Structure 1
Amino acid sequence: DHEQIDTSRFSQVVGDVLARAMAASKEASRQVVAFGEMVALLWADGKVQAAIELEKLWNGLARTYSFSLRCAYPMQGFSRQEHVNSFLQICAEHSNVIPKDTRSGSKSQTENFQEAAGTPTTDSAHQKSYWLETEARFRFFIESVQDYAIYMLDPEGHITTWNGGAERIQGYRDTEIIGKHFSCFYQEEDLRSGKPKSLLEIATREGHVEDDGWRVRKDGSKFWGRVTLSAVHDEAGKLIGFGIVTRDITQQKRSESILQRQEERFQLFVQCVQDYALFLLDPDGYITTWNLGAERIKGYKASEIIGQHFSCFYPSGERAQKPKYELEVAAKLGRFEDEGWRLRKDGSKFWANVVITAIRDQAGRLIGFGKVTRDLTDRMLVQKSLEESQRKLRELSFHLLRTQDEERRRIGRDIHDSLGQYVSVLKMKLDSMGDSASPTAEIAECADLAEQCVKEVRTISYLLYPPMLEEMGLKSVIPWYLEGFSERSGINTTFEMPGVLQRLSRDAELVLFRVLQESLTNVQRHSGSETALVKITADGKEVKLEVTDQGKGVPSAILEQGSQDWMGSLGVGLRGMSERLRQLGGTLDVSSTDTGTTVRATVPLQGSATTSS
């Protein structure tokens, strides 16, 4: 089995024998001749590749030591069509082909070999008959080959033999082509460059030459031929001609061209891709290719990154283990996919989706990895923003429900503590009127209690939604509300407003009024301020409401928290107002120091203004 040949041992053992033989031959002035009998035995046993491998090993020794190597193959080993490829491979491993001529009067090559080996020869008619029969079979084999053009040239390049394969491939009958120069098969540009003559010279000098190129048939059509041209010498070493073996590989060439064009188009496609980093790694993770998408996403030019290990794209904390782990998983399972932070050339980070695919050859050996990377930073940020918005929405919904419950509880408490007390006393008075000798005074008290009930109901309803706001606008409702707030809280309020203020849309006026309510509630509950300043300004583009107190201010930690969602700390009411202002295109801002806090609400006039007041 040729896979078990120990090449180093062969070279050592046989080389040692040859070295000693060479030393002895120099002393005796004799030539060293080696007979490769094992190749014929391997061939006869059907181990074709082993025989060819052994021929190569002998040829390697022949380049080191000066000796003559002779090999003999039984002709019956080349008697069928399927032996053609093997026959050509064997021929390619020999520098000279020496034909046996049993019809000459001189000793045959076989007889010379036998004499050199010390084997006696016979000149019987039976032996001559055997060699004639063998030669005939060989000629029949050559003639029957259809897939190869096999023919001979004389030393000047004129055709002397022609087989059936040559006729099929090149279109000439033997009567039409024998005697002509083989250059007739070449294109005009090859003739002008002297290519046929050059091939003969190389074959003469080196023993054989191989060439692929366009050849011309009899009808002028072209085919892509693979040509092996070997020099043929007689037993004295004289050049007696050339042997040519030509195969039509046009279809193979066409397929290779198609594959090459597809490969080129694919490479152009890969290079033109801008949205994906597409590149290859060797089995150890070193970068071997680089496309424009990779340059755009990662910042490296091909000349800067090819040859570097792909772990350079990972943050320092992951660089030691993660790249190695990813390659191991890809090699084991065929692919690996992951998302995470990666580094650009400038040190900045991007969120990457990465797919690593193992690449194997036809034998299943791992030859590298393909890596596809996409920059998903924008998508990741949008996803995070969406998740944050959903979180805030859920929190807002919870706070709205809680606010609703608190508002109901406040309304219930106000009704119970004020209106309920008035109604209870009124009932008690009415019940006692039957026992009173003078009901006039009782009736007067009941009238006063009924009036107080009406005022309390009106106050509660006004606080929920003052009708004055819809009828007269902010300019009128704010002073009314501030008066009631001061009476209930004891906080002195001041109101500043321009002389002329445009009426705003119903939604805009309502949301500014709610901001005023919630801000004053926070002043009363949290600030400890004895005063509050309410100011409305308008500059033609927007209306601004400011509520300022002189209290202890809002702690800085709460304001820092407020940079993301300060409403959670300052009240769910203002939180809702912020959302309402945002829907109207407005803003809500809170600034605070240790000397007071200002709540500033702004709404645009465009789309909010109605009639002038």
Structure 2
Amino acid sequence: MADGAQPQTDLAEQRFGLLVNAITDYAIYMLDPAGIIASWNPGAQRFKGYEAGEVVGRHFEMFFTEEDRAAAAPARALATAAAEGRFEVEGWRMRKDGTRFWANAVLDAIRADDGALLGFAKVTRDITDRRAAGRALYQSEQRFRLLVQGVRDYAIYMLDAEGRITNWNAGAEAIKGYRAEEVVGSLFSRFYTEEDRAAGEPARALATALSEGKYETEAWRVRKDGTRFFAHVIIDPILDDEGRFAGFAKITRDITERREAQEALEQARISLFQAQKLQALGELTGGIAHDFNNLMTVIRGSAELLSTVDLPATKRQRYLDAIMETVDRASDLTGHLLAFGRRQSLNPRRIDLNLRLDALGEVLSRTLDPRIAVRLDLADGLWAIDVDDAQLETALLNAAFNARDAMPEGGVLTLATANRPGDDGIGDNVSLSISDTGSGMSPDVLARAFEPFFTTKAIGKGTGLGLSQIHGFAAQSGGRAEIDSQAGIGTTVRLILPRSTGRTSEIATSGDERQLLPAGRHILIVEDNDQVRDFAADLLEHMGFRTTRASNGEDGWEQMQSTRPDLLFSDIVMPGLGGIALARMARHHWPNLPILLATGYSAEIAGGNADGFDILAKPYSRETLSRALAGVLTP
């Protein structure tokens, strides 16, 4: 049995020798108890540079650096391995050519069955590259740490999964006032305001960062001394190399100064806007005062002459005509102002714009300078629009007259229409353009073109209200007005008006006194102004109606219940019970009672709260009152 075991042992030793000699990444060799090299594998030859014949029989200290040999490192290694069974170390070793390499060295003691020391097994590996990579990583981490610690404008720190602070940079200390030892380990919610903590904002911030990959906000935060600062905050989740959640990266910047600068800029903008409004108001009131004083001068002068001078019939009529003409001009002026302020009372109807422009083009051809050619460029299939046709005509005439004045030597005036589907994403619109080939406007003039009473025309040649009326009319009709102009080339005024919704209907045609129901009908007049009330009563009685007068809404309601009139004619703006409220009460009790309301201006009417009542604009004449009565009294 013993004879058969010997060949097997030899075979195992041969195989082991082949294995050791096949390894080239490790130096594997044997030492005797004194440290003398007894064997040498190809791996040792590869990275130490010696062949077996050059090292076998020599002490292994030959591979140590001079400083290690001077420090007795070889002897210490043998002693430790002999005493403890194993010795492992990393350090510099020497190659045959004198160069150094960083080695991981393991020395294991080899003992016989009886415990006697037979020698040592020596395994060495060249880990120079790994050490270099590790040192590079370490240096990179150190540089990054220095970078983070050197940043003082940003608080940069990390949180664990529960929101506890795990590190703290110098910027965090500078911004928030805490040293690292005061905050590491505590919850980051300590920096939030009480109201944000009560609202659960810290937890919501972490949850958002996890679910969306990032949380970013601007909000108030609290320093150590209790003062607040306005912060820009970013929280990012941190994942390790295997994609597992490891915590949060937190970056905070103090943007209080930037916010204060923005607020100061906004306040300056508001102040400038208020100053501009005051300037515009000053120009507006100056323009109103100028025009109304001129009108009042004509009215007062004519009235004084009529009352104090015995005039021939022709002159009396001339002054009477002057008063009525001036009142009409005053009415037009207030109409333009209300249009600019989007406060006029509009009576929209569904109209065919192309048909209106076709008729208007003929009128303009006859009334404008004969050197001006009027051309129409009307789109086929143009959509209908819902507008107040009288105000539309006024806007068109204002634009046309401005174009005429811009072409004193003649030119071309073009009226064009077009459908604009889905314009600006707010629905279908219709475009109406009035273009001229006149002098055009400079950028400064163009910027102020819509301002009321702003005009470049000579004194007495224009009020400066034409374009402002166009602007106000378009806006109150649900659209907008635009101007394109170049000096020396011409100007285009464009109205963008919403496509008809089909909810409006044609307005009743005008009537006259002969269309009224039989004379003698009873009309209740409710008007808080004594002079206007007396004038209305005299006018109605002269037209053949019976009247009852009330000075306010409450009095009018009592009179209505006791006299049961055939028609209620009431002012809208009155103290106490106003005309709209009175009309609603009357409609509720007497659904078939005709009602006519009158106003010079009403916020309710301008805001579209007329409730379907017929409205008569002040100042009114016998003719306009007659037509309005015909509209409500005719079956």
TM-score scaled by length of structure 2: 0.46
In terms of fraction of residues, the more helix-rich structure is 1
TM-score scaled by length of structure 1: 0.48
